[in-house]
């Protein structure tokens, strides 16, 4: 599904050029559950931003189901993000004045989906993540784990092909983290491709594939399988 070749992301800092990504080549197959791991500054977040269409590479190529994402015009790239990618962030990024239901509806508003359909889909997504009884609650009325579930429901609203999760358990306690990771496993078992960006080795161990970054390069690509898969 994803094919990147010789990918570079360069930043000019004064007279110095810094390579956040330094010639990365890898593929991700449809239906994979992969973790991208590495310390701060290793390049993993730069990779996620490019995979999600939030940033463009300086050099190299990125193809998604055969489409050249790197060459897309701005409008086409925005449409790609809306249709193909779901995002989950550490800080949840929910709008505090909106209910859980309204937060999940929001990306469908931008996608031009009719009110009745988006309401039905939002209800279905919240039920899917176990929040059918919390739909009218605002974020301040929800626990951290519940807020992250709302964020996951929102990420699923437009039926994406790829779910990108950036440190999705970073603001959660251990038990809640396990619940969120279990939900990712359930979604992946249903066929959704999931890529988790994390520095947490215990989170990474839950993935079936672990791609380790350092200094903007892939230093290890382990298809050894997750603990869950081995149990």
CA distance 189 to 32: 9
The alpha carbon dihedral of 163, 228, 40, 68 has a sign of: negative
User: Could you tell me the pLDDT band of residue 223, with boundaries at 50, 70 and 90?
Assistant: confident
The reply to whether 231 falls in a domain is: no
Average pLDDT for 34-63: 94
Can you give the pLDDT at residue 226?
57
Average pLDDT for 183-203: 95
Among 48, 19, 86, smallest CA distance to 167 is for 48
The reply to whether 49 falls in a domain is: yes
Averaged confidence pLDDT in the chain: 93
The reply to whether 89 falls in a domain is: yes
Q: Given a cut of 60, is residue 15 above it in pLDDT? A: yes
The reply to whether 117 falls in a domain is: yes
The reply to whether 177 falls in a domain is: yes
User: Could you tell me the pLDDT band of residue 144, with boundaries at 50, 70 and 90?
Assistant: very high
Q: Which domain holds residue 10?
A: 2-222
Can you give the pLDDT at residue 227?
52
Q: Which strands make up the sheet holding 16-28, listed edge to edge?
A: 16-28, 2-13, 59-64, 67-68
Query: How many other CB atoms are there within 10 angstroms of residue 95's CB atom?
Result: 11
The reply to whether 63 falls in a domain is: yes
The reply to whether 176 falls in a domain is: yes
User: Could you tell me the pLDDT band of residue 123, with boundaries at 50, 70 and 90?
Assistant: very high
Question: What CATH code is carried by the domain that includes residue 179?
Answer: 3.40.50.300
Structure tokens, 4: 């990147």
Based on the structure, what is the number of domains in the chain?
Answer: 1
Among 131, 187, 130, 197, smallest CA distance to 159 is for 187
Average pLDDT for 106-124: 94
């Amino acid at each position: 599904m994803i094919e990147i070749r010789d990918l570079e992301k360069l930043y000019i800092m004064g007279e110095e050029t810094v390579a956040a990504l330094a010639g990365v080549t890898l593929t991700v197959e449809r239906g994979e559950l992969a973790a991208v791991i590495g310390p701060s500054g290793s390049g993993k977040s730069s990779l996620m931003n490019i995979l999600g269409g939030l940033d463009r590479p300086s050099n190299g190529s990125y193809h998604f189901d055969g489409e050249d994402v790197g060459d897309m015009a701005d409008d086409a790239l925005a449409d790609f993000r809306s249709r193909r990618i779901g995002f989950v962030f550490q800080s949840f990024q929910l709008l505090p004045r909106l209910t859980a239901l309204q937060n999940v509806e929001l990306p469908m508003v931008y996608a031009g989906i009719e009110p009745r359909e988006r309401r039905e889909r939002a209800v279905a997504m919240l039920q899917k993540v176990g929040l059918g009884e919390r739909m009218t609650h605002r974020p301040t009325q929800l626990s951290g784990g519940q807020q992250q579930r709302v964020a996951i429901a929102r990420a699923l609203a437009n039926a994406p092909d790829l779910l990108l999760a950036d440190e999705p358990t970073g603001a959660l306690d251990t038990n809640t983290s396990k619940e969120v990771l279990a939900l990712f496993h359930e979604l992946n078992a249903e066929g959704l491709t999931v890529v988790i960006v994390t520095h947490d080795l215990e989170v990474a161990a839950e993935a079936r594939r672990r791609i380790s970054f350092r200094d903007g390069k892939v230093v290890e690509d382990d298809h050894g399988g997750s603990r869950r898969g081995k149990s």
